[in-house]
A = this chain, B = another copy of it.
Amino acid sequence: MIVVVKPNTKEEDIQRLIKMIETQGVKIHYSKGIDHTILGIVGDTTLVDVAKIRSNQIVENVLRVQEPYKKANRLFHPDDTIIEVNGRKVGEGTISIIAGPCSVESEEQIVSIAKSVKQSGATFLRGGAFKPRSSPYAFQGMGYEGLELLKIARKATGLPIVSELMSLEQLPAFEDVDIIQVGARNMQNFILLRELGKIDKPILLKRGLCATMQEFLMSAEYIMKEGNDKVILCERGIRTFETATRNTLDLSCVPVLKKKSHLPIIIDPSHGTGLSWTVEALSKAAIAVGADGVMIEVHNNPEEALCDGAQSITPTQFDSIMKTLKKYAEIENKVM
């Protein structure tokens, strides 16, 4: 980290600043220039509070040279993280396909969709039991019952299950869920993240609607810092000025996150645009851009879906998309 001191600052003020910074467990390399004095901070700067230094009146600017995360940082963990879930791998070399309805609606629905997506080649079953809805009047999911139905569908197909946890008190009910999803709106629910860091279970962490990639990795760091390093990143669209799509799917985050971090990345095109007819094109692009898989909403009857039908595809469409995606996985030399 580089601290640029304002011109004409008194030496004693600089010395006071140096002492303040050094209390944060780092060392200072002092360099007096013609206009500006520059302080190079040496050591573990993840613990250094940039905002605090910047608020000092003699500081012109602060430049981070190293990223503020460690566990999620490829620099300190050059190899790709590969996460094993019930014998299936998520991460480099494998394309994971997570499919299923936005929300679990009945045993018949979830079991039938599960069988169908499994036959088409999906590797995980998704299904929402607790649904974050912007309106308190909208369907909020089946809750605990939904989780039970997911387990029945898992039993019927062998597909590991992925479901969203909305609040800490639901955690006990997720003990037998294979991958816990943290939704976009909870990406900076730090207390939740911290607790999920204390369990031994893969976490599918969705990027917040207006989270920068750095904030996204910092949220992964919250989980990893506590000991759980099984974090799967999931890009699901960011909020921009564009209104033709519900969100703007940021596929360019894949090469950038892959460079900065060793964690696997899954793309969710269904939420990315909210338009079912874009799912095929964007799923292909997700594999081409280097993602480790896609998460696709599949519903047997999108028009009757209790939530987000406009972005769901039918099992028949899913089957056709899967055939195409396999060709892409092949060029990328990945198992699918």
Contact = CB atoms under 8 A, between A and B. Distances in A.
Interface in A51-95: 51-52, 54-57, 60-61, 63, 65, 68-69
Contact of A132 (B69, B135, B188, B269): B188
A168 B168 contact: yes
- Chain A: number of interface residues, binned into ranges: 35 or more
Contact of A240 (B31, B241, B278): B241
Contact of A278 (B134, B135, B256): B256
A254 B240 contact: no
Nearest to A187: B185
A238 B242 contact: yes
Contacts of A189: 167, 185-186, 189
- Which 5 residue pairs are nearest across A and B when measured between Cβ atoms? A55-B309, A210-B210, A55-B310, A288-B288, A31-B31
14 contacts: A27-B34, A33-B42, A35-B40, A36-B40, A56-B309, A134-B215, A212-B243, A244-B256, A245-B256, A249-B252, A252-B272, A252-B273, A252-B278, A256-B275
Interface of A: 2, 4, 20, 27, 29, 31, 33-36, 38, 40, 42, 46-47, 49, 51-52, 54-57, 60-61, 63, 65, 68-69, 132-140, 166-169, 185-186, 188-192, 194, 209-210, 212-215, 218-219, 221-222, 225, 238-245, 248-256, 259, 269, 272-273, 275-278, 281-282, 284-290, 302-312, 327-328, 331
